A and B are shown apart, each in its own frame.
Chain A
Amino acid sequence: MSLDKFGIAKRIAQELKDGMYVNLGIGIPTLVANFIPENINVIFQSENGILGMGPYPTEAEVDADLINAGKETVTLIKGAALFDSAESFGMIRAGKIDLTVLGAMEVSEKGDIANWKIPGKMVKGMGGAMDLVASAKNIIVAMMHTNPKGESKLLAQCSLPLTGMACVKKIVTEIAVLEIGEDGFILLERAPGVTVEEIVQKTAGKLIVPDYVPEMQL
């Protein structure tokens, strides 16, 4: 059975390690914060100027002066720090953020990512995505394996304008966990009950399938 968005978030949360500084993008990546394994502490960064972002506020805690990069109201954890956008992207560029999780429209077998622009449609802008993918030490993409038309989003080459080149390390979809290897996508895990054949069929780029592909442990 393929995963829902919560399942994808839960699987990505297994990648978190104690002490990591993590930036979560909008959408499925945001859900990762709900599944942090017990006994580990990670600190969330929001690129509008927070290190130590906490959960959404209660009604009484709402503060109009405190939002995240998705423009949502948030809280601060004890020990949080606040700074401006220039410093925030400085720490991103300088490689201080250990892990970035973001969504994508397409990923290539070389690790290129496209997630900001569809020619012919209104372009809203790249926000901080280009900066994050150009500099984060480790980038995990959370996305569906295929687009709404059923076409693979894991391609030999991206067809959409790129956000960044050769930057994605790992991809978690509703059916598989893959990493970017020297020669293409390497299939690491499959969702419970999903066959290798289905993943092969839905992956347009070069896919390397090891002899044994374990099921995700969720």
Chain B
Amino acid sequence: MNKLFIDADAAIADICDEAILMVGGFGLNGIPENLIAALVRKGIKGLTCISNNAGVDDFGLGLLLQTRQIKKMMSSYVGENAEFERQLLNGELEVDLIPQGTLATRIEMAGMGIPAFFTPTGYGTEIAIGKEIREFNGKMHLMELALHADFSLVKAWKGDHLGNLVFRKTTRNFSTSMAKAGNITIAEVEELVEPGAIDPDEVDVAGVYVHRIFQGKNYEKRIERKTLRIQS
């Protein structure tokens, strides 16, 4: 079993035009910086990106928007990006807005082998249009489908050669579910360790879900809204 790759470019070598990608992170928190940079270098086009947000103009998925590599975004909130807005208003970009919890659960269900589920979210709104509706326990629910991807790109704090991943603080966000949902999951890690160096009790994502892993580098970890406590 060899899941180790030398770097991001090697790990994404077989991702082609028109691929459907899940990209982990919440805003700029816990995004796979090395993998996004490698996609920009590779220059593949027509990508569908499933990601809660679309980055900012000059970082995160915003970098792939600048180079017009994204055809479609599937997200819950895309308000932080002016280039995104420009492309959307010009009809250059397709966007599918999905309630955040529904998006997270659609991804999680793919990793659990559940093809569809019912949720009350969006009942009575335009999100419900065209969806099967059923009543459970006196409450109306919509049927939502599991969401799969050709490749899931995630960033973890630590990972071992077997693909076991550990996340730090709020960087779990969508990344742990996406890691389980990808047909091929590629993980970049801040610290790549030997099997045994991670306590099995601490594993967030078991290695079975992760197909490729590499040591990331030069993490910028940009903060979107640095907000400080006013000290008296």
Give me the interface of A with B, judged by CB distance under 8 Å: 46-50, 55-59, 62-74, 82-86, 88-90, 92-93, 112, 122-131, 134-135, 161-166
Give me the interface of B with A, judged by CB distance under 8 Å: 26-30, 52, 75-80, 85, 88-89, 97, 99-102, 104-105, 107-108, 119-127, 157, 167-177, 204, 221-229, 231
Establish whether residues B120 and A134, one from each chain, have CB atoms under 8 Å apart when the complex forms: yes
Among A65, A74, A88, the most chain B Cβ lie within 10 Å of the Cβ of A65
Q: Which of A48, A58, A161 contacts B29 (CB 8 A)?
A: A48
Q: Which of B108, B121, B225 contacts A70 (CB 8 A)?
A: B225
Q: Which of B80, B105, B123, B176 contacts A134 (CB 8 A)?
A: B123
A165 to B120: give the CA distance in the assembly, Å. Answer: 10
A135 to B107: give the CA distance in the assembly, Å. Answer: 20
Q: Is the interface of A mostly helix, strand, loop or mixed?
A: loop
Given A84-B173, A123-B97, A165-B124, the answer on whether A58 and B228 have CB atoms closer than 8 Å is yes
Establish whether residues A84 and B104, one from each chain, have CB atoms under 8 Å apart when the complex forms: yes
A58 to B223: give the CA distance in the assembly, Å. Answer: 14
Q: Which of B29, B75, B107, B167 contacts A67 (CB 8 A)?
A: B29
Establish whether residues A92 and B101, one from each chain, have CB atoms under 8 Å apart when the complex forms: yes
Q: Which of B80, B89, B122, B174 contacts A85 (CB 8 A)?
A: B174
A48 to B109: give the CA distance in the assembly, Å. Answer: 18
Q: Which of B79, B88, B99, B169 contacts A82 (CB 8 A)?
A: B169
Establish whether residues B225 and A71, one from each chain, have CB atoms under 8 Å apart when the complex forms: yes
Residues of A within 8 A of B175 (CB): 84
Establish whether residues A67 and B27, one from each chain, have CB atoms under 8 Å apart when the complex forms: yes
Question: Smallest Cβ distance from B167 to chain A, in angstroms?
Answer: 8
Question: Smallest Cβ distance from A100 to chain B, in angstroms?
Answer: 12
Establish whether residues B169 and A66, one from each chain, have CB atoms under 8 Å apart when the complex forms: yes
Establish whether residues A125 and B79, one from each chain, have CB atoms under 8 Å apart when the complex forms: yes
Question: Smallest Cβ distance from A81 to chain B, in angstroms?
Answer: 11
Establish whether residues A67 and B26, one from each chain, have CB atoms under 8 Å apart when the complex forms: yes
Given A86-B177, A130-B127, A161-B125, the answer on whether A65 and B76 have CB atoms closer than 8 Å is no
| Chain B residue at minimal CB-CB distance from A161 | B126
| Chain A residue at minimal CB-CB distance from B103 | A85
Establish whether residues B169 and A63, one from each chain, have CB atoms under 8 Å apart when the complex forms: yes
Establish whether residues B27 and A71, one from each chain, have CB atoms under 8 Å apart when the complex forms: yes
| Chain B residue at minimal CB-CB distance from A123 | B97
Given A122-B85, A131-B100, A135-B121, the answer on whether A85 and B26 have CB atoms closer than 8 Å is yes
Establish whether residues A134 and B229, one from each chain, have CB atoms under 8 Å apart when the complex forms: no
A126 to B88: give the CA distance in the assembly, Å. Answer: 17
Establish whether residues A66 and B77, one from each chain, have CB atoms under 8 Å apart when the complex forms: no
Residues of A within 8 A of B100 (CB): 47, 85, 89, 126-128, 130-131
Question: Smallest Cβ distance from B128 to chain A, in angstroms?
Answer: 10
A187 to B181: give the CA distance in the assembly, Å. Answer: 49
Q: Which of B88, B99, B204, B221 contacts A130 (CB 8 A)?
A: B99
Q: Which of B85, B173, B227 contacts A49 (CB 8 A)?
A: B173
